[in-house]
């Protein structure tokens, strides 16, 4: 192809492509373009535009308004460009369009994001009156607010009503305002600067724009105040709160202003000259300033420029999602600050004690009411050890022991088991013979001989521990010829008990080697005691209680005793440690357990407020603060015979027990549950899983033993205090002879404690019973059913069934309840029951009972 020919062409041309070549799809075919020559004309700038540009050139100082306008123009042009389609025809059209013509300018119709092409009828452009009224609106909003209105707003009102003040006047006023607003230290107040804008005349649409900018400035500054002066929260109504309110108002007024801006959209695009007039005034008015002034004004104009730039973007004056989110965030921050301030004022976070006081308002603190605030706890003398029976010393039965050892060796030899007794330990009720098998002898060779050994030793029962954990021997436990009772005093007098500083230390008994076993209920943290009748459960609970009376003051420990058997724990009535008299009623017991759950929740709330994890830390802090009365006592809930409770209301009891067992440890509530029947319907999986410490007394079968301690062995126990103790989830059980405490001892100790302090019950059994009654009788539909019956002047079970979509049982129960309450008459055969109360009486009932 000859390119030199093509160069000679003067006009841009498309090379004519023969139809044939098109068909042939010639790969060499190309489209070339050349710039026009000769007739080309640069676009002529309209006169008005040139004038404006000249004026701009004359202007020495660049202002923020200029930047704003230039940017706007740039955007406007870009938008125009983007609207114009590419291609030659379009280019030519564009050239035509740019050329000056006498046809008046008409704005391109752009669909509104809100109205589309069907915009509402345009209101007359914002006149001076319109702007004034907008300002008046704004001022009236501000005046209705409780806070003080900046004087500048009032001033503006006056200024707006004045016809076009001269530039000198503006300047003097501006000077005055600046003088007033400059602090002595010379730091320029941003609010003062931002408030200068309304001084500009308000008779042009551009003024409206400038004012809108000012609005945005004020908003910006209030937002900046809110964000950067967060630590300024000392004012009750809060400067931050004020800011948030102001932002709120500004958002509204801004919407109004932006409306005006949008309505003057045509001016915005077409007549930009007045804008420059206003912009020119800025350097004139700010010309008085020295270097100190320049900087803030520069900042301020920059801000305004930013704001104007922002304002260009949306025609949409509706609150966008981001705006809303931001607004909500600002409001919530303000309210948070306010609440924080209020909290601080109340001194909530001052110390633990005040935290506790605040929490007291959440739940009823009944324990606090027991003791006086900020006083030393009342004196409590622990009972003397002399009140208990002295320990019994068993005679050394050495002869019998040697005899039994010999018998055991002979039996093993007779059965060809190469093993012999290497050690003998005599406990209070049982003696353990340690047998060591020779190498190569299987353990089960010995364990298989249980019955044979029992026969040859003529023992009542034997229990084998094969092997003894941590030893090379197998333990064969044979009951003593004469069992020695372990009196409580023996353990309480031991070093182990005396040295234990926990108020919840309890004596359990002596192990097989005669060592006292003391456990801490805090570590337990909940215990399950199970065994057949007469095996020693009640005695065990008694020894625990007496131990506690020897260790804990009534201020340190509160007891909730539930004794459905009625007689076992009765002696403890009226001791100062009780939260209520011993509960013997099963229904009341259920409610009492619920109280314990509530108390647990209350304590956790207290801990949250005090910022502690558990009761010991909480009490430590209360001690340090000298708030002895705020210390929380430990609560030990003892249930003697869980089976009775489980028979009555299994769901409620199981729920309460498992909730306490699950999480009450840290808040100082401990649970000890005793039962005769260790079957799975009493000790459910849920209860068992949450009570890690188990004490198994003698049971009748290995299955029962497994239910209690997850292994056999309890069926071989001797009864009368012989027990297997599995501490806190341990699979290893320890055989103990439980301590014994007689009724006389209990009476003596209890009398002493009763004399020390009077009981301060938190509730009586009757209260619990009435509460249980109410709970039982409550039906959430009751009040609605009453209203229905009164409105219908009668009710029947079937009508209630239809109205409330309930079953017959519930409907008839509701009818019976209404009858008992005297709302409905008694049954009259097939006739409907009469309503015995009026509408007013019903309303009174509803008001007094709280049902509505
Ligand atoms: N540690 C002990 N030392 C000596 N004797 C004991 C001991 N524990 C219990 N006994 C004896 O066993 C008897 C029954 O004990 P206890 O009343 O505690 O049994 P229980 O398991 O509570 O029975 P129930 O479930 O029927 O009430 C007591 O009267 C007492 O004589």
Query: Mind listing the pLDDT tens digit for each residue in 487-537?
Result: 999 999 898 898 888 889 999 999 888 889 999 998 888 999 999 988 899
Better-predicted residue by pLDDT, 175 or 193? 175
Helices (H), 565-713: 586-610, 615-624, 642-648, 650-663, 685-690, 702-709
Structure tokens at 588: 């009341």
Contact criterion met (CB below 8 Å) for 432 and 476? yes
- At 22 the pLDDT is 46
Q: pLDDT tens across 72-108, in order?
A: 565 555 555 545 444 455 555 554 455 555 556 666 6
Contact criterion met (CB below 8 Å) for 506 and 407? no
| Euclidean distance between CA atoms 91 and 93, whole angstroms | 5
Q: Does the beta carbon of 537 lie inside 6 Å of ligand 1?
A: yes
According to the annotation, is 538 in a ligand binding site? yes
pTM of the predicted protein model: 0.53
Q: Does the beta carbon of 536 lie inside 6 Å of ligand 1?
A: yes
Better-predicted residue by pLDDT, 623 or 363? 623
Contact criterion met (CB below 8 Å) for 778 and 801? no
| Euclidean distance between CA atoms 628 and 623, whole angstroms | 6
Q: Does the beta carbon of 677 lie inside 6 Å of ligand 1?
A: no
Most confident of 188-192, 344-348, 554-558: 554-558
Please tell me the distance between residue 532's alpha carbon and the centre of ligand 1 in angstroms: 10
- At 71 the pLDDT is 60
Closest ligand 1 atom to 536 CA: 18
Spatial CA neighbour of 152 closest among 174, 167, 172, 168: 174
Q: Does the beta carbon of 668 lie inside 6 Å of ligand 1?
A: no
650: confidence class by pLDDT, cuts 50, 70, 90 = confident
Structure tokens at 755: 């004399």
- At 253 the pLDDT is 42
According to the annotation, is 590 in a ligand binding site? no
Tell me if the bond preceding 235 is cis, omega within 30° of 0: no
What proportion of the chain, given as a percentage, has pLDDT over 70?
A: 56
Residue 154 above 50 pLDDT? no
According to the annotation, is 186 in a ligand binding site? no
- At 649 the pLDDT is 76
State the chain's maximal CA–CA distance in angstroms.
141
What is the arithmetic mean of pLDDT over 813-822?
82
Top mutation candidate among 516, 538, 744 for ligand 1, by most atoms within 8 Å of CB? 538
Beta bridge partners of 670: 636
Structure tokens at 369: 């009411």
Distance set, CA 798 to CA 212, 408, 684, 787, 812 (Å)? 69, 79, 40, 16, 8
- At 319 the pLDDT is 61
Q: Which helix (H) or strand (E) holds 669?
A: strand 669-675
Contact criterion met (CB below 8 Å) for 555 and 367? no
Residue 445 above 60 pLDDT? yes
- At 770 the pLDDT is 65
- At 4 the pLDDT is 47
Closest ligand 1 atom to 739 CA: 1
Q: E-strand spans in 229-295?
A: none
> In this structure, which residue's CA is closest to atom 15 in ligand 1?
536
Q: Does the beta carbon of 198 lie inside 6 Å of ligand 1?
A: no
Q: Which domains does the chain have, with CATH numbers?
A: 397-479 (3.30.980.40), 488-766 (3.40.50.300), 778-850 (1.10.10.10)
Q: Does the beta carbon of 631 lie inside 6 Å of ligand 1?
A: no
Q: Which helix (H) or strand (E) holds 475?
A: strand 474-479
What is the arithmetic mean of pLDDT over 445-452?
88
Residue 628 above 90 pLDDT? no
Residue 17 above 50 pLDDT? no
Residue 636 above 90 pLDDT? yes
Spatial CA neighbour of 385 closest among 491, 255, 296: 491
Q: Which helix (H) or strand (E) holds 487?
A: strand 486-487
Q: pLDDT tens across 230-280, in order?
A: 444 433 343 333 333 434 444 444 444 444 444 444 434 433 334 333 443
368: confidence class by pLDDT, cuts 50, 70, 90 = very low
Closest ligand 1 atom to 542 CA: 18
Q: pLDDT tens across 659-671, in order?
A: 888 888 888 999 9
Q: pLDDT tens across 302-329, in order?
A: 544 454 444 444 444 556 667 777 777 7
Give 3-state DSSP helix, strand, coil % of the chain, rounded to 5: 50, 10, 35
Spatial CA neighbour of 720 closest among 538, 520, 525: 538
- Helix (H/G/I), strand (E/B), else coil: 361: coil
Q: pLDDT tens across 189-225, in order?
A: 343 334 344 444 444 444 444 444 444 444 545 444 4
| Averaged pLDDT score across all residues of the chain | 70
| Euclidean distance between CA atoms 643 and 427, whole angstroms | 33
- At 169 the pLDDT is 54
Please tell me the distance between residue 539's alpha carbon and the centre of ligand 1 in angstroms: 5
């Amino acid at each position: 192809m000859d390119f030199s020919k093509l160069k000679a062409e003067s006009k841009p041309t498309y090379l004519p492509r023969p139809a044939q070549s098109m068909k042939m799809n010639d790969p060499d075919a190309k489209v070339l373009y050349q710039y026009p020559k000769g007739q080309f004309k640069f676009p002529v700038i309209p006169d008005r535009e040139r004038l404006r540009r000249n004026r701009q050139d004359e202007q020495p100082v660049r202002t923020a308004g200029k930047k704003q306008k230039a940017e706007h123009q740039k955007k406007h042009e870009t938008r125009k460009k983007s609207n114009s389609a590419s291609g030659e025809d379009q280019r030519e059209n564009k050239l035509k369009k740019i050329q000056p013509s006498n046809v008046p300018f008409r704005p391109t119709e752009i669909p509104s994001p809100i109205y589309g092409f069907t915009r509402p009828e345009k209101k007359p452009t914002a006149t001076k009156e319109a702007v004034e009224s907008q300002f008046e609106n704004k001022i009236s909003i501000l005046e209705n607010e409780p806070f003080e209105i900046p004087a500048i707003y009032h001033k503006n009102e006056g200024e707006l009503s004045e016809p076009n003040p001269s530039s000198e006047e503006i300047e003097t006023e501006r000077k005055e305002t600046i003088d007033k607003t400059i602090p002595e230290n010379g730091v320029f107040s941003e609010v003062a600067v931002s408030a200068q804008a309304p001084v500009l005349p308000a008779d042009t649409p551009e003024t409206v724009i400038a004012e809108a900018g000012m609005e945005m400035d004020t908003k910006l500054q209030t937002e900046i105040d809110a964000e950067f002066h967060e630590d300024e929260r000392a004012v009750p109504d809060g400067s931050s709160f004020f800011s948030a309110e102001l932002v709120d108002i500004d958002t509204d007024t801004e919407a109004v202003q932006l409306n005006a801006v949008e309505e003057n959209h045509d001016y915005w695009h077409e007549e930009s000259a007045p804008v420059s007039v206003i912009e020119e005034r800025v350097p004139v008015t700010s010309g008085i300033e020295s270097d100190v002034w320049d900087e803030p004004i520069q900042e301020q104009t920059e801000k305004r420029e930013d704001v104007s730039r922002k304002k260009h973007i949306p025609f949409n004056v509706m609150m966008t999602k981001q705006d809303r989110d931001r607004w909500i965030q600002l409001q919530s921050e303000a309210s948070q600050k306010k609440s924080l301030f209020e909290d601080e004022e109340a001194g909530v976070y001052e110390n633990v004690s005040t935290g506790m006081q605040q929490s007291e308002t959440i739940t009823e603190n009944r324990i606090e009411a027991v003791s006086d605030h900020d006083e030393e706890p009342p004196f409590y003398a622990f009972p003397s050890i002399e009140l208990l029976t002295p320990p019994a010393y068993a005679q050394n039965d050495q002869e019998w022991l040697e005899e039994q050892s010999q018998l055991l060796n002979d039996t093993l030899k007779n059965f060809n088991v190469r093993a012999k007794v290497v050690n003998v330990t005599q406990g209070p009720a049982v003696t353990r013979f340690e047998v060591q098998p020779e190498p190569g002898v299987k353990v089960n060779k010995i364990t298989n001989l249980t019955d044979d050994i029992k026969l040859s030793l003529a023992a009542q029962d034997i229990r084998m521990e094969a092997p003894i954990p941590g030893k090379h021997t197998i333990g064969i436990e044979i009951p003593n010829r004469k069992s020695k009772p372990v009196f409580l005093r023996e353990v309480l007098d031991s070093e182990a008990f005396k040295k234990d500083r926990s108020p919840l230390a309890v004596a359990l008994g002596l192990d097989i080697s005669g060592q006292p076993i003391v456990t801490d209920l805090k570590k337990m943290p909940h215990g399950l005691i199970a065994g057949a009748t007469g095996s020693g459960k009640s005695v065990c609970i008694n020894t625990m209680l007496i131990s506690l009376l020897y260790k804990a003051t009534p201020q340190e420990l509160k007891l909730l005793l539930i004794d459905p058997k009625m007689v076992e724990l009765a002696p403890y009535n009226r001791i100062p440690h009780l939260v209520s008299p011993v509960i013997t009623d099963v229904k009341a017991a259920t409610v009492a357990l619920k109280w314990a759950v509530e108390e647990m929740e209350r304590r956790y709330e207290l801990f949250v407020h005090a910022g502690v994890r558990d009761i010991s830390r909480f009490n430590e802090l209360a001690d340090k603060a000298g708030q002895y009365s705020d210390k929380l006592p430990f609560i030990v809930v003892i249930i003697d015979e869980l089976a009775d409770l489980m028979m009555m209301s299994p769901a409620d009891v199981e729920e309460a027990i498992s909730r306490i067992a699950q999480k009450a440890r840290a808040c100082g509530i401990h649970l000890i549950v005793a039962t005769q029947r260790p079957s799975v319907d009493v000790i459910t999986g849920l209860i068992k899983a949450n009570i890690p410490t188990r004490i198994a007394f003698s049971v009748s079968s290995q299955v029962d033993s497994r239910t209690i301690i997850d292994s056999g062995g309890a069926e071989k126990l001797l009864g009368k205090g012989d027990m297997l103790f599995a501490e806190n989830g341990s699979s290893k059980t320890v055989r103990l002879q439980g301590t014994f405490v007689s009724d006389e001892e209990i009476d003596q100790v209890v009398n002493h404690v009763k004399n020390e302090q009077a009981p301060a019950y938190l509730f009586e059994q009757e209260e619990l019973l009435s509460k249980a009654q109410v709970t039982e009788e409550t039906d959430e539909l009751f009040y609605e059913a009453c209203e229905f019956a009164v409105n219908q002047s009668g009710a029947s079970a079937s009508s209630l069934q239809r109205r409330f979509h309930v079953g017959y049982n519930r409907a008839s129960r509701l009818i019976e309840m209404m009858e008992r309450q005297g709302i409905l008459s008694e049954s009259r055969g097939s006739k409907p029951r009469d309503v015995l109360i009026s509408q007013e009486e019903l309303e009174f009932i509803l008001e007094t009972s709280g049902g509505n």
